[in-house]
Protein backbone atom coordinates (compact mmCIF):
# COMPACT_ATOMS: atom_id res chain seq x y z
CA UNK A 1 0.00 0.00 0.00
CA UNK A 2 1.36 3.42 -0.95
CA UNK A 3 2.05 5.61 2.07
CA UNK A 4 -0.10 8.71 2.09
CA UNK A 5 1.88 11.95 2.08
CA UNK A 6 1.54 14.05 5.21
CA UNK A 7 -0.41 17.25 4.65
CA UNK A 8 0.26 20.08 7.12
CA UNK A 9 -2.23 22.71 5.95
CA UNK A 10 -5.90 22.56 5.11
CA UNK A 11 -5.24 24.45 1.88
CA UNK A 12 -3.20 21.50 0.59
CA UNK A 13 -5.95 18.91 1.12
CA UNK A 14 -7.44 18.15 -2.28
CA UNK A 15 -9.88 15.69 -3.82
CA UNK A 16 -7.19 13.24 -4.95
CA UNK A 17 -5.56 13.08 -1.50
CA UNK A 18 -8.93 12.60 0.19
CA UNK A 19 -9.91 9.86 -2.27
CA UNK A 20 -6.69 7.94 -1.55
CA UNK A 21 -7.07 8.46 2.21
CA UNK A 22 -10.68 7.26 2.35
CA UNK A 23 -9.88 4.21 0.23
CA UNK A 24 -7.04 3.25 2.56
CA UNK A 25 -9.33 3.64 5.58
CA UNK A 26 -12.01 1.47 3.96
CA UNK A 27 -14.61 4.23 3.94
CA UNK A 28 -14.62 4.54 0.13
CA UNK A 29 -14.52 1.72 -2.41
CA UNK A 30 -15.56 2.62 -5.94
CA UNK A 31 -16.22 6.34 -6.09
CA UNK A 32 -13.97 9.37 -5.99
CA UNK A 33 -14.06 12.66 -4.14
CA UNK A 34 -14.80 15.37 -6.66
CA UNK A 35 -15.24 18.46 -4.48
CA UNK A 36 -13.90 19.76 -1.14
CA UNK A 37 -15.02 22.75 0.92
CA UNK A 38 -12.95 23.59 4.01
CA UNK A 39 -13.96 25.62 7.09
CA UNK A 40 -12.18 26.03 10.46
CA UNK A 41 -13.67 24.38 13.57
CA UNK A 42 -12.97 24.10 17.28
CA UNK A 43 -10.99 26.01 19.89
CA UNK A 44 -7.70 24.13 19.61
CA UNK A 45 -4.67 25.95 21.02
CA UNK A 46 -1.71 23.93 19.71
CA UNK A 47 -3.16 22.47 16.51
CA UNK A 48 -5.49 23.69 13.76
CA UNK A 49 -8.73 21.84 12.94
CA UNK A 50 -10.85 22.06 9.79
CA UNK A 51 -14.06 20.50 8.54
CA UNK A 52 -13.98 19.22 4.94
CA UNK A 53 -17.36 18.85 3.25
CA UNK A 54 -17.09 16.29 0.45
CA UNK A 55 -18.87 15.53 -2.80
CA UNK A 56 -18.41 12.32 -4.82
CA UNK A 57 -18.79 11.02 -8.34
CA UNK A 58 -21.78 8.99 -7.10
CA UNK A 59 -23.43 8.18 -3.75
CA UNK A 60 -21.77 5.29 -1.91
CA UNK A 61 -22.91 3.74 1.39
CA UNK A 62 -20.51 4.57 4.21
CA UNK A 63 -18.73 7.37 2.41
CA UNK A 64 -18.68 10.35 4.81
CA UNK A 65 -20.32 13.62 3.82
CA UNK A 66 -17.61 15.41 5.81
CA UNK A 67 -14.49 14.72 7.86
CA UNK A 68 -12.41 16.67 10.36
CA UNK A 69 -8.74 17.30 9.65
CA UNK A 70 -6.21 18.26 12.29
CA UNK A 71 -2.80 19.78 11.45
CA UNK A 72 0.17 21.45 13.19
CA UNK A 73 -0.62 24.95 14.45
CA UNK A 74 0.05 27.75 11.99
CA UNK A 75 1.04 30.01 14.88
CA UNK A 76 4.79 29.44 15.47
CA UNK A 77 4.56 29.76 19.29
CA UNK A 78 1.79 27.17 19.47
CA UNK A 79 3.56 24.93 16.95
CA UNK A 80 6.76 24.97 19.01
CA UNK A 81 4.82 24.16 22.16
CA UNK A 82 3.15 21.23 20.41
CA UNK A 83 6.50 19.84 19.33
CA UNK A 84 8.39 20.56 22.56
CA UNK A 85 5.80 18.67 24.58
CA UNK A 86 5.45 15.77 22.11
CA UNK A 87 1.76 16.52 21.63
CA UNK A 88 1.57 15.65 17.94
CA UNK A 89 3.37 12.34 18.43
CA UNK A 90 1.15 11.39 21.34
CA UNK A 91 -2.17 12.10 19.65
CA UNK A 92 -1.34 10.24 16.44
CA UNK A 93 -0.07 7.27 18.44
CA UNK A 94 -3.18 7.25 20.62
CA UNK A 95 -5.40 6.75 17.59
CA UNK A 96 -3.05 4.14 16.15
CA UNK A 97 -2.55 1.99 19.22
CA UNK A 98 -4.73 2.86 22.23
CA UNK A 99 -8.12 4.14 21.11
CA UNK A 100 -9.45 0.66 20.33
CA UNK A 101 -8.41 -0.68 23.76
CA UNK A 102 -10.44 1.73 25.94
CA UNK A 103 -14.19 2.22 26.31
CA UNK A 104 -14.45 5.99 26.00
CA UNK A 105 -16.10 7.22 22.80
CA UNK A 106 -13.75 8.90 20.32
CA UNK A 107 -14.22 9.75 16.64
CA UNK A 108 -13.41 7.06 14.09
CA UNK A 109 -9.91 7.75 12.79
CA UNK A 110 -9.49 7.59 9.00
CA UNK A 111 -5.80 8.57 8.94
CA UNK A 112 -3.13 9.13 11.59
CA UNK A 113 0.17 10.18 10.01
CA UNK A 114 3.28 11.48 11.76
CA UNK A 115 6.85 12.23 10.67
CA UNK A 116 9.24 11.90 13.64
CA UNK A 117 11.97 13.78 11.74
CA UNK A 118 10.15 17.11 11.66
CA UNK A 119 7.01 16.45 13.77
CA UNK A 120 4.65 17.09 10.85
CA UNK A 121 1.36 15.26 11.18
CA UNK A 122 -2.06 14.77 9.63
CA UNK A 123 -5.06 13.43 11.52
CA UNK A 124 -8.37 12.79 9.73
CA UNK A 125 -11.34 11.94 11.96
CA UNK A 126 -15.02 11.23 11.53
CA UNK A 127 -17.21 14.31 11.81
CA UNK A 128 -19.38 14.15 14.94
CA UNK A 129 -21.81 16.87 13.82
CA UNK A 130 -24.48 17.68 14.68
CA UNK A 131 -23.30 17.93 18.29
CA UNK A 132 -23.04 20.32 21.22
CA UNK A 133 -19.50 21.62 21.64
CA UNK A 134 -18.35 21.84 25.25
CA UNK A 135 -17.36 25.33 26.34
CA UNK A 136 -14.83 25.72 29.14
CA UNK A 137 -15.77 29.33 29.82
CA UNK A 138 -19.51 28.67 29.98
CA UNK A 139 -19.20 25.50 32.06
CA UNK A 140 -21.70 22.64 31.90
CA UNK A 141 -24.79 21.27 33.58
CA UNK A 142 -24.64 18.65 36.32
CA UNK A 143 -26.18 16.21 33.84
CA UNK A 144 -23.29 16.77 31.43
CA UNK A 145 -20.83 16.47 34.30
CA UNK A 146 -22.28 13.08 35.22
CA UNK A 147 -22.05 11.94 31.59
CA UNK A 148 -18.42 13.08 31.52
CA UNK A 149 -17.47 11.12 34.62
CA UNK A 150 -19.08 7.99 33.22
CA UNK A 151 -16.93 8.48 30.11
CA UNK A 152 -13.89 8.95 32.35
CA UNK A 153 -14.58 5.54 33.91
CA UNK A 154 -14.93 4.08 30.40
CA UNK A 155 -11.47 5.45 29.60
CA UNK A 156 -9.76 4.35 32.79
CA UNK A 157 -11.27 0.97 33.65
CA UNK A 158 -10.10 -1.18 30.68
CA UNK A 159 -6.37 -0.48 31.26
CA UNK A 160 -6.55 0.01 35.04
CA UNK A 161 -3.26 -1.04 36.61
CA UNK A 162 -2.01 -2.37 33.26
CA UNK A 163 1.76 -3.04 33.55
CA UNK A 164 2.09 -2.85 29.75
CA UNK A 165 1.40 0.90 29.65
CA UNK A 166 4.83 2.06 30.89
CA UNK A 167 6.40 -0.22 28.29
CA UNK A 168 4.96 1.84 25.43
CA UNK A 169 7.94 4.03 24.58
CA UNK A 170 5.91 6.91 23.18
CA UNK A 171 3.59 6.92 26.20
CA UNK A 172 6.47 6.80 28.68
CA UNK A 173 8.20 9.71 26.95
CA UNK A 174 6.14 12.22 28.88
CA UNK A 175 7.56 11.47 32.30
CA UNK A 176 10.96 10.36 30.99
CA UNK A 177 11.75 13.21 28.62
CA UNK A 178 9.61 16.09 29.82
CA UNK A 179 9.64 16.09 33.61
CA UNK A 180 13.10 17.60 33.82
CA UNK A 181 12.22 20.24 31.25
CA UNK A 182 9.03 21.17 33.11
CA UNK A 183 10.93 21.33 36.41
CA UNK A 184 13.54 23.61 34.86
CA UNK A 185 11.03 25.90 33.15
CA UNK A 186 8.34 26.13 35.80
CA UNK A 187 9.93 28.78 38.09
CA UNK A 188 10.39 31.11 35.11
CA UNK A 189 6.87 30.31 33.86
CA UNK A 190 5.44 31.14 37.29
CA UNK A 191 7.34 34.44 37.36
CA UNK A 192 5.93 35.37 33.94
CA UNK A 193 2.46 34.27 35.03
CA UNK A 194 2.69 36.49 38.11
CA UNK A 195 3.79 39.42 35.94
CA UNK A 196 0.97 38.89 33.45
CA UNK A 197 -1.86 38.34 35.91
CA UNK A 198 -0.78 40.38 38.96
CA UNK A 199 -3.78 42.39 40.08
CA UNK A 200 -6.10 40.01 38.22
CA UNK A 201 -5.78 36.70 40.01
CA UNK A 202 -6.16 36.60 43.77
CA UNK A 203 -2.93 36.92 45.85
CA UNK A 204 -3.69 33.74 47.81
CA UNK A 205 -3.77 31.74 44.57
CA UNK A 206 -0.49 33.28 43.41
CA UNK A 207 1.04 32.21 46.74
CA UNK A 208 -0.28 28.69 46.18
CA UNK A 209 1.16 28.60 42.66
CA UNK A 210 4.61 29.38 44.11
CA UNK A 211 4.44 26.05 45.99
CA UNK A 212 3.73 24.08 42.81
CA UNK A 213 7.31 23.16 41.72
CA UNK A 214 8.18 21.41 44.98
CA UNK A 215 4.85 19.58 45.09
CA UNK A 216 5.22 18.31 41.51
CA UNK A 217 8.63 16.85 42.29
CA UNK A 218 7.10 14.98 45.24
CA UNK A 219 4.24 13.73 43.04
CA UNK A 220 6.73 12.16 40.62
CA UNK A 221 8.11 9.92 43.34
CA UNK A 222 6.61 6.53 44.20
CA UNK A 223 2.84 6.95 44.40
CA UNK A 224 0.45 4.27 45.65
CA UNK A 225 -2.21 4.92 43.03
CA UNK A 226 -2.98 2.57 40.11
CA UNK A 227 -1.97 3.91 36.72
CA UNK A 228 -4.15 3.79 33.65
CA UNK A 229 -4.60 5.64 30.37
CA UNK A 230 -4.95 9.27 31.38
CA UNK A 231 -6.24 11.97 29.01
CA UNK A 232 -4.50 14.70 31.06
CA UNK A 233 -6.44 17.58 29.43
CA UNK A 234 -9.90 16.29 30.28
CA UNK A 235 -11.92 19.52 30.03
CA UNK A 236 -14.98 20.83 28.25
CA UNK A 237 -13.26 22.38 25.22
CA UNK A 238 -12.13 18.85 24.36
CA UNK A 239 -15.61 17.33 24.59
CA UNK A 240 -18.74 17.17 22.45
CA UNK A 241 -22.19 16.16 23.68
CA UNK A 242 -25.17 14.60 21.87
CA UNK A 243 -22.84 13.61 19.04
CA UNK A 244 -24.19 12.75 15.61
CA UNK A 245 -27.56 14.15 16.57
CA UNK A 246 -27.77 12.23 19.84
CA UNK A 247 -26.47 8.85 18.62
CA UNK A 248 -23.95 8.97 21.49
CA UNK A 249 -24.14 11.10 24.64
CA UNK A 250 -20.57 12.33 24.39
CA UNK A 251 -17.23 12.05 22.61
CA UNK A 252 -13.78 13.13 23.77
CA UNK A 253 -11.25 14.80 21.46
CA UNK A 254 -7.70 16.20 21.60
CA UNK A 255 -5.57 13.32 22.84
CA UNK A 256 -2.34 15.31 22.62
CA UNK A 257 -1.56 15.01 26.32
CA UNK A 258 -2.43 11.32 26.76
CA UNK A 259 -0.15 9.58 29.24
CA UNK A 260 -0.03 6.77 31.81
CA UNK A 261 -1.02 8.02 35.24
CA UNK A 262 -3.64 7.99 38.02
CA UNK A 263 -7.16 8.17 36.63
CA UNK A 264 -8.38 10.48 39.39
CA UNK A 265 -6.18 13.22 37.95
CA UNK A 266 -8.62 13.49 35.03
CA UNK A 267 -11.59 13.51 37.39
CA UNK A 268 -10.22 16.23 39.67
CA UNK A 269 -9.10 18.35 36.72
CA UNK A 270 -12.48 18.17 35.02
CA UNK A 271 -14.45 19.08 38.14
CA UNK A 272 -12.15 22.00 39.01
CA UNK A 273 -13.16 23.90 35.87
CA UNK A 274 -16.14 22.13 34.30
CA UNK A 275 -18.67 23.34 36.84
CA UNK A 276 -18.70 26.36 39.14
CA UNK A 277 -16.89 26.11 42.49
CA UNK A 278 -20.22 26.32 44.32
CA UNK A 279 -21.69 23.43 42.31
CA UNK A 280 -18.50 21.44 42.73
CA UNK A 281 -18.60 21.82 46.50
CA UNK A 282 -22.26 20.81 46.61
CA UNK A 283 -22.03 17.82 44.27
CA UNK A 284 -18.42 16.60 43.93
CA UNK A 285 -18.74 13.72 46.38
CA UNK A 286 -21.79 12.35 44.55
CA UNK A 287 -20.11 12.81 41.16
CA UNK A 288 -16.91 11.08 42.24
CA UNK A 289 -18.98 8.26 43.75
CA UNK A 290 -20.72 7.88 40.38
CA UNK A 291 -17.32 7.56 38.70
CA UNK A 292 -16.16 5.04 41.31
CA UNK A 293 -19.30 2.94 40.90
CA UNK A 294 -18.78 2.85 37.14
CA UNK A 295 -15.16 1.77 37.61
CA UNK A 296 -16.33 -1.18 39.70
CA UNK A 297 -19.10 -2.01 37.24
CA UNK A 298 -16.48 -2.11 34.48
CA UNK A 299 -14.34 -4.64 36.35
CA UNK A 300 -11.92 -2.62 38.50
CA UNK A 301 -11.08 -4.49 41.70
CA UNK A 302 -9.24 -3.70 44.93
CA UNK A 303 -9.95 0.03 44.77
CA UNK A 304 -12.35 1.05 47.49
CA UNK A 305 -14.14 4.35 47.98
CA UNK A 306 -11.68 5.65 50.56
CA UNK A 307 -8.77 5.16 48.14
CA UNK A 308 -10.74 6.82 45.34
CA UNK A 309 -11.66 9.85 47.43
CA UNK A 310 -8.09 10.20 48.73
CA UNK A 311 -6.73 10.16 45.17
CA UNK A 312 -9.30 12.70 44.04
CA UNK A 313 -8.27 15.07 46.84
CA UNK A 314 -4.51 14.78 46.32
CA UNK A 315 -4.35 14.97 42.51
CA UNK A 316 -6.00 18.38 42.18
CA UNK A 317 -2.62 20.01 41.52
CA UNK A 318 -2.67 18.98 37.86
CA UNK A 319 -5.34 21.61 37.21
CA UNK A 320 -3.12 24.36 38.61
CA UNK A 321 -0.19 23.21 36.49
CA UNK A 322 -2.29 23.13 33.32
CA UNK A 323 -3.73 26.58 33.93
CA UNK A 324 -0.37 28.19 34.65
CA UNK A 325 1.88 26.38 32.18
CA UNK A 326 -0.53 26.53 29.26
CA UNK A 327 -1.08 30.28 29.64
CA UNK A 328 2.55 30.92 28.75
CA UNK A 329 2.89 28.17 26.12
CA UNK A 330 0.40 29.12 23.38
CA UNK A 331 -0.62 32.14 21.38
CA UNK A 332 -2.08 34.78 23.69
CA UNK A 333 -5.69 35.77 22.99
CA UNK A 334 -8.45 37.27 25.19
CA UNK A 335 -10.26 33.91 25.25
CA UNK A 336 -7.07 32.05 26.18
CA UNK A 337 -6.38 34.44 29.08
CA UNK A 338 -9.95 34.07 30.37
CA UNK A 339 -9.79 30.30 29.94
CA UNK A 340 -6.53 29.81 31.81
CA UNK A 341 -7.56 32.16 34.60
CA UNK A 342 -10.77 30.18 35.10
CA UNK A 343 -8.83 26.91 35.12
CA UNK A 344 -6.23 28.19 37.58
CA UNK A 345 -8.75 29.76 39.96
CA UNK A 346 -10.94 26.67 39.98
CA UNK A 347 -8.05 24.31 40.63
CA UNK A 348 -6.53 26.51 43.35
CA UNK A 349 -9.86 26.76 45.14
CA UNK A 350 -10.33 22.99 44.88
CA UNK A 351 -6.79 22.32 46.16
CA UNK A 352 -7.27 24.73 49.07
CA UNK A 353 -10.52 23.09 50.18
CA UNK A 354 -9.01 19.61 50.05
CA UNK A 355 -5.60 20.64 51.47
CA UNK A 356 -4.01 18.93 48.50
CA UNK A 357 -0.55 20.38 49.00
CA UNK A 358 -0.42 18.77 52.46
CA UNK A 359 -0.32 15.34 50.79
CA UNK A 360 2.94 16.22 49.05
CA UNK A 361 4.67 18.87 51.20
CA UNK A 362 5.25 18.50 54.91
| Contact (Cβ atoms closer than 8 angstroms) between residue 82 and residue 88 | yes
Q: How far apart are CA 12 and CA 14, in angstroms?
A: 6
Compute the mean pLDDT over every residue in the chain, rounded to the nearest whole number.
93
Residue 43 has what pLDDT? 67
Q: Render pLDDT for 150-162 as a digit per residue (tens, 0 to 9).
A: 999 999 999 999 9
Q: How far apart are CA 35 and CA 15, in angstroms?
A: 6
Indicate whether 2 pLDDT > 70.
no
Q: Render pLDDT for 30-50 as a digit per residue (tens, 0 to 9).
A: 999 999 999 999 766 789 999
pTM of the model: 0.94
CATH 3.30.360.10 at 10-126, yes or no:
no
Q: How far apart are CA 126 and CA 149, in angstroms?
A: 23
Backbone angles phi, psi at 47, to 5 degrees: -155, 160
Residue 356 has what pLDDT? 97
Residue 170 has what pLDDT? 87
How far is the first Cα of the chain from the last one, in angstroms, to the nearest whole number?
58
Q: How many CA atoms lie within 13 A of 66 on its CB side?
A: 15
Residues 317-335: what's their mean pLDDT? Answer: 88
Q: How far apart are CA 72 and CA 83, in angstroms?
A: 9
- The CATH architecture that domain 133-360 belongs to is Alpha-Beta Complex (3.90)
* Cα 187 to the center of its chain, rounded Å: 24
Residues 36-65: what's their mean pLDDT? Answer: 92
* Residue whose C-alpha is closest to residue 77's, from 339, 254, 338, 327: 327
Residue 13 has what pLDDT? 97
Residue 299 has what pLDDT? 98
What's the DSSP call for residue 178?
I
Residue 178 has what pLDDT? 59
What is the C-alpha radius of gyration for the chain, rounded to an integer number of angstroms?
Answer: 20
| Contact (Cβ atoms closer than 8 angstroms) between residue 238 and residue 253 | yes
Q: How far apart are CA 243 and CA 249, in angstroms?
A: 6
Domain ranges of the chain: 10-126, 133-360
| Contact (Cβ atoms closer than 8 angstroms) between residue 238 and residue 134 | yes
Indicate whether 109 pLDDT > 60.
yes
Residue 77 has what pLDDT? 85
Residue 182 has what pLDDT? 73
Amino acid sequence: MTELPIVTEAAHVDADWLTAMLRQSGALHEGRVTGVTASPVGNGLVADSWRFALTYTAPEPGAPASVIGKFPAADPVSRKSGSDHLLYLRETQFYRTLAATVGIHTPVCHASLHDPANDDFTLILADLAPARQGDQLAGCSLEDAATTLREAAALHAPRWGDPALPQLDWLALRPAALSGMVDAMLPAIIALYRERFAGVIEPEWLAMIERLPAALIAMRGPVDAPITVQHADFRLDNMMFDVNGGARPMATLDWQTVTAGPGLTDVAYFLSAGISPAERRAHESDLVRLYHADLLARGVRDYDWDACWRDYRRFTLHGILMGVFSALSVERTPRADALFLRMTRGACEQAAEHRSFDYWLS
